[in-house]
Amino acid sequence: MNMKNCKIKILSILIIFSIMMLPILTVANAANEEIAVLKTSENEYRIYSEKYLGKSFYYAFSDTEEVAESSLNFITSKQDTDGNQIAEFKTTSEEAYMWTKESLDAKAEVTKVDLKDSMTKESVEEIQTITKRIPVDATQTATETTEEGDIIKNITTGILKITDTANAKFYYQTTLLTKETVDYNRLMELTKQAQGELNNYQRIKLAQEYEELFNKLTSQANWTEVVDKTIKQPANANDGEQYVVLLRKVENGNTTYDAQFLTSSKQTKQEVVEKVVSTTKNTELPVTYDNPILFVVLAITVALLVIIGIKIAKARKNENQK
């Protein structure tokens, strides 16, 4: 019985300890999930909390969560130029803990802030340059003609023409979007979202995800050098399929990456060619007197007639003499 009671006590202590640790684990797991961090200058940061974007709040910062809330100096949130409520602070550390609450007499919530995940204003704005970093023309087409028996096919497909005038080398990778191309599908979704209406919190979070995903895809790409600044769509592409084209430009040691999101175009026209069949008909030439053989036969015939005539004349002469 004593052993059984001992096990129950140990189990009870572990459960109580686990319950006590839940707030700490929650803080650690919530790091930067509901906040967006913008680095405004060296060691200066602006924090956007999704919960408090549209309403004022009180906040304080600490280097550790193991502090008494009563010892913290809470100040009122500020408003940025777009009307969002923000928290600002300076630090040289890579992480901090932000305490927030709606009123001074309320209990504060604490969130771990990982400053290594902060985005600069330039990085956030750079997302707007996607599809514009390397100038292209996606409206051009190319036509290929093939013959199969008496059928002529004219196949017109879309091409991507690089119009960048720089004396640089260009590379590309084309990926057909399917259910399996999860990362590329997400890249296209993020690009569409970036063109829409976003608040500063959403811009920072989107730019952060986009930068991480875009860097991953460009580092894993199998690059093919562009010839004559022309990128043909895949030969097996069907009309209406969606593709992501990653682009890389190398000029004087500097590399620029971009992406294009295209819909394949393929139009086929065929014609049946009627072949003219020529036949040769052998005809007998008409008999003419130009043939030399006829003259020989005629001469022999005349000669025979002359001989016969002479003999008849001699015979008659002999008869008269009698």
What residue segments make up the domains of the chain, in order of their start?
Answer: 23-117, 128-272
295: buried, middle or exposed (CB in 10 Å: 19+, 13-18, 0-12)? exposed
Annotate 160-206 with DSSP letters as a single string: EEE---SS-EEEEEEEE--TT-HHHHHHHHHHHHHTS---HHHHHHH
Closest CA to 134 of 218, 69, 36: 218
* Residue 20, pLDDT score: 47
User: Is 111 in contact with 97 (CB distance < 8 Å)?
Assistant: yes
Bridge partners of 277, per DSSP, are none
Mean pLDDT of the chain: 84
User: Is 205 in contact with 53 (CB distance < 8 Å)?
Assistant: no
* Residue 22, pLDDT score: 43
Please identify which residue in the block is written with the tokens 């309320």.
Answer: 106
CATH class of 23-117: mainly beta
Comparing 114-128, 175-189, 225-239, 297-311, the range with the smallest average pLDDT is: 297-311
User: Is 166 in contact with 136 (CB distance < 8 Å)?
Assistant: no
Indicate the SS3 state at residue 238.
coil
Comparing 16-25, 91-100, 217-226, the range with the smallest average pLDDT is: 16-25
Label residue 92 by pLDDT band (50, 70, 90): very high
**Predicted TM-score of the model (pTM):** 0.71
